[in-house]
Structure 1
Amino acid sequence: RFVDDAKREGRRKEREVTSDKRKFEDEKTLQKSMRYKEMEEVRRLQAWKTDELERRERNAAVRFEKERRRDEAARKVAAKQVSDYEATKHLEQVRGQKEGCDLCRAA
C-alpha cells in the first residue's frame, strides 16, 4: 500500500512539474508573441513616419514650385508694364520732336 501511495505521489508530482513546464513554455511563447507584436507596431509607426515626411517634402516642393511660378508671372507682368510705360513715354517724346528718332524711323 505504501508503494502504491508513493507511486501515486510520484505521478502527481510529475504531472505538476509537467504542468509547470507547460505553463512556463506558454508564458515564454506569449512574451515572444507580445514582443513580436510590439516590434511590428514599431515598424509600422516608422514606416508611417517615413511616408509622412516624404509626403510633407513633396508638398513643400509643390508649394515652392507654385510660388516660384507665381513670382515669375508677377515679374513678367511688372516687366511688361514697365516696357509699356517706356514705349508710351518714348512715343510721347517722339510726338514732341519734329523730326522723330532713329528707332521710330527704322520701324
Structure 2
Amino acid sequence: MASYKHPCKYCGKLIARDSNFCPFCTQENPLGPMRCPICRYPLEDGAKACGHCGILLWKICESCGKETFLGDKCSYCGTPIIVVCPNPKCRAEQPPTNRNCVKCGKPLR
C-alpha cells in the first residue's frame, strides 16, 4: 500500500501523513488543524485567542520583534519562547505552554 506524503502547513516540505511533528521545521501538528498549545482545542485560522481556555495565542518574539504563534519557538527566527514566572521569589524561565509555573505552581498569566 502506497503511503503518500503531505505538505507541512508550516514549511511546505513533504512529510508522512501520520506525523505529529515536522522533521524539517520541528513544528507540532503539521498536518491537521492548528491546536491550542495549552488545552489542544482545535483553532480556526486567524484566531487571536483559544475559544476553549481563552489564552492569547500570539506573542512578540523578544529576539526578532515579530509576532509569532505561542509555541516553544519563534516561527521566524527559531529562538525559544520563554516566560518568566511572575512570582518574585521564583522567577523560573519556562515554555509558555503551561498555565502554572513548573517550579512554584503559581499562575503564569
Larger strand proportion, structure 1 or 2? Answer: 2
Q: Higher relative contact order by CA 8 Å / sep ≥ 6: 1 or 2?
A: 2
Higher gyration radius (CA): 1
Q: TM-score, normalized by length of structure 2?
A: 0.21
Larger helix proportion, structure 1 or 2? Answer: 1
Q: TM-score, normalized by length of structure 1?
A: 0.21
